[in-house]
Amino acid sequence: MTFVKEIISRRAVLAMALALPLIGASVAHAATPAEGFISDNIQKGLGILNDPQLSAAQRSEEFEQLLVGLTDMKRIAAFTLGQYARTAPQADQDAFAAAFQNYSVAVYRSYLGLYAGQTLKVTGSSARTPDDFIVNTVMVDPKDQSGPQLQVNFRVRTDAGKPELTDFSVAGIWIALSQRDQFGAFLAQNHGDVKVLTAHLQQVAASYH
């Protein structure tokens, strides 16, 4: 089992959570722009998932375009490299960012079917700084609304001139933080060679096709 496969198997709930922002929302009124950004894009994702006129290939392509458009993949990729982002050659960082994006999209796609019909309800938000927000939501199963609700939070940054998702958490565990820890441990065992980690991500992304 590869390193990244171990991440998926041991933290499957985290990987699943990556798909949650694009499934559906139940929001009567967005109290803040950050909340509106989350709820609006969730609705777009729901429309893609439930559009019977789209083929599987079209649904996959439109989903990828939406995901890449609302998420700052390059920023997240650099964050997950941690200290190695300061020492790796720029060419290696760029290759890793591309592999990280393909890997993330592949993981999102693989779990789409599991969350079809699920909805997310925005419950509020908080500002860490004037341009850094945490939007709180819960996942609701329409078939069992009396059951326990899974809390899913989203970090939204606006310092790039537009709202962008930079991290997600499920049950209190932040995805990018977890990936940074896992990638850091892997790189420490591989002499800090980012190219080796890039190759792992490419292999995992390819296995989903």
Q: Which domain does 29 fall in, by range?
A: 3-207
* Residue 130 DSSP SS3: coil
Please give the model's pTM, rounded to 2 decimal places.
0.75
How far apart (Å, rounded) are the C-alpha atoms in residues 46 and 38? 12
d(CA 102, CA 60): 13
The whole-number pLDDT of residue 180 equals 95
Query: What pLDDT shows up at residue 1?
Result: 44
Burial class (CB in 10 A: 0-12, 13-18, 19+), 4: buried
Which CATH number goes with the domain that contains 105?
3.10.450.710
The reported pLDDT for the residue numbered 112 is 54
| Series of mean pLDDT values for 10-residue runs along the chain (209 residues) | 44 38 42 88 75 85 86 92 94 96 79 64 92 89 75 89 88 88 95 96 86
Q: How many domains does one find in the chain?
A: 1
